[in-house]
Structure 1
């Protein structure tokens, strides 16, 4: 989870929502309990009115003609209690039996006081109390009504349980909403991922489109990094070109020395020099090709037929090409997902290699199959065994390791294909020789 921003955001939102709902559960439960107790207080004051209306004093002791109508006042430990007290005596409900309500400390005379206290029968009571005076010279009467709070517990528990169930469902809904919100919030990052992938394949590309302000510093930093990378690649290409041109003169001088050695009667030494010179030229050409690969542009396309016809026309002028026939089998409108220069650099060496090994025919096809566009170049030459084909695709292998010249390494051809999202494979040609296939997924 620590490596997933989405999961971290969703988990954080779920935890925060959960804490908020737990606090809300406690708050709403407390508010409900307080509301119920206020309703009980109002009911007790209503019960008090008939009691006070019939209150009389006999020799200073309070008495009433009739008790309130609620039957719980007439049942011992019934949960509702009243008590009238003076210094001369006490009158109380039947529900108190022989017990008394707890005494009051400095009860008010101008308003009702509400408090909770431990009452008779070990009950927790809600008490409403105050003092009154019937006549100015009459003794003070302490009026008290009590309600057993245990009667409220079932309703309070049911409310808490139902509220907890509701808030759990609400948590699920809000968590789902948070998941959707996180998904919407991360959508711009998916666009960044797509643009960065395009930037990886094309050094000249930049992050485009409108992004949220919060991503602007990231976008600017990526573009600045891309500018620096493009500049580094350009410098590296220039240095590679300078190095190649700088080595041409020494290599030409070495070739001249080899010719003199050969004329001087040392052909074996001359052969060794020529081999070393050819290896150095191959290494230089290979590095120049890889530098070219690093600058391959993504999103370009080239019509296949005109390009292949132009390359075939050039190869037909060579010693290997003039003795064989070329067969082109593809539609005029088909394109390859490479820029023209990149396509020529990929196809040209493959055609040269096929022409060098073919007996009479080289076949070039471009076809769409299984959601892929495939360029296939096959010949009717001796071909390669399966083990040889597997060995040939290893990095650093060459398409032509036995013929003259150094050619273009198969690894370079493969890198150029992969740089444009393609895949290179060697198979047996239907003509009997070797067939090189380069395939690209068709965009949908």
Structure 2
């Protein structure tokens, strides 16, 4: 999904570009219209001067050139006039040997148009029909014209300068948008880094010092949620520890009673002693889990390979009677797992506890990326599980210790955590070590803290 910053940058840039293009088009239209109107106004003035300087007699036309502008004298000067009366035609000296193709007009009729003039330049023309002269054949038509090439050149220069200024302003505005948004989103970037530290367990709350007022309530609510969750986790850890410690005394009393019972009924005493041993081991594992996860932050994700190293050290202490060699093959592309750190420690704690219990000497942990999914395998070199018994490993509602020796409640907890985080878990025989192989798959859509 596109970020808010990118969306704002694109939308604001598009808005500035669109408004600038509309503005440039509107200004060009206004300048062209003003250029055209100024030429027409000048032609009207020239037309009046030519009419005043002209004398229409019987089939003849006289022009007093002293009353006209000197622009009509040089050849092809760009300003022209022509008078037509029947077959009589009088042209300005500036037309030289060229003549304008004029359509006679009725008295009082005007015509404005453009055509090709001297030197094949575009010219703007204005004609007007005058009242008929007594004794003349027809009525006179007066025409004035102006070369458009010079005016268009000036217009191009003016509009080019205007376009350059507008483009420069546009670039400055786009750069300003980028810089302003970048500066405005700096607190959000800092918050993003702060959340990353929370995921890695390097901090316990968000700093509110540089949080913008718009998102400060969200940050405060998030901190309150973190504090509440942390207190809940601490309370659960304390309750778990208290329960485990509280069970030790009744367990010790029961052991004493079993020893007394052993004098009368050795078989019953042996069966009870076996169950008491399992209860004792379960209590020790829960106490170890409480020591591992009790001080974790509620927003922390599992960091790879740091947390796995910590788990393996703990498992080495729990299974100190054997020397288990923990091997790692972890891709650098997977710095953390997108699951809660406490749940991750319990998930991998159970898997590593099971692998350590049945391994002869080696446990292999592999983590890598495959088509965006995180793939995790934990293998041991123990006796493994027959293929027919693999589906029973995570069966609910039964003590699997009784069905498959050694693979018990821990794997059922593993399945519960995998269902919570929508992880895919499967069991098979390890092709390289020969023991049990557990495969976990984290889908690529899993992001953030669940």
Query: Normalising to structure 1: TM-score of the pair?
Result: 0.52
**Kindly tell me: are residues 134 and 5 of structure 1, through their superposed partners in 2, closer, same or farther at Cα, counting changes over 3 Å?**
same
Partner of residue 278, structure 2: 276
Equivalent residue pairs, number: 309
Q: Secondary structure at the match of 1:100?
A: coil
SS of corresponding position for 2:314: coil
What's the counterpart of residue 53 of structure 2? 54
Deviation at 1:205, TM superposition (A): 4.8
Alpha-carbon distance between aligned partners in 2 of 1:390 and 1:233, rounded to the nearest angstrom: 19
Q: Aligned ranges for residues 27-426 of structure 1 at < 5 Å?
A: 27-41=26-40, 43-45=42-44, 47-48=46-47, 50-59=49-58, 61-66=60-65, 68-70=68-70, 75=75, 79-86=78-85, 89-94=88-93, 95=95, 97=97, 99-103=99-103, 115-119=112-116, 124-131=122-129, 141-190=140-189, 192-193=191-192, 205=205, 208=208, 215=214, 218-246=215-243, 248=245, 250-262=247-259, 264=262, 275-290=277-292, 292-294=294-296, 393-395=310-312, 397-398=314-315, 400-401=317-318
Using the alignment, how far apart are the partners of 2:169 and 2:272 within structure 1? 88
Q: TM-score, normalised by structure 2?
A: 0.52
Residues 152-209 of structure 1, C-alpha deviations (whole Å, 9 max, x = no match): 3433444444444443333332222222211232234245446656877699857635
Secondary structure of the 1:208 match is coil
1: CA distance between counterparts of 2:285 and 2:104? 107
Q: Residues 254 and 74 (structure 1 numbering): CA distance in 2 closer, same or farther, change over 3 Å?
A: same
Measure, in 2, the Cα distance between the counterparts of 1:286 and 1:115: 101
Deviations 1:340-376 (A, max 9, x none): xxxxxxxxxxxxxxxxxxxxxxxxxxxxxxxxxxxxx
1:140/1:286 CA distance change after superposition, 3 Å? farther
Structure 1 residue 146 displacement after superposition: 1.1
How many angstroms does 1:145 deviate by? 0.7
Contact 2:9 2:181 in 1 (8 A): yes
* 1:385-408 deviations in Å (ceiling 9; x for gaps): xxxx9996454734634669xxxx
CA offset at residue 245 of structure 1? 3.9
Distance 2:255 2:15 in 1: 81
Once the 2 structures are TM-superposed, how far is the Cα of residue 22 of structure 1 from its aligned partner? 3.2
Distance in 2 of aligned mates of 1:60 and 1:137 = 8
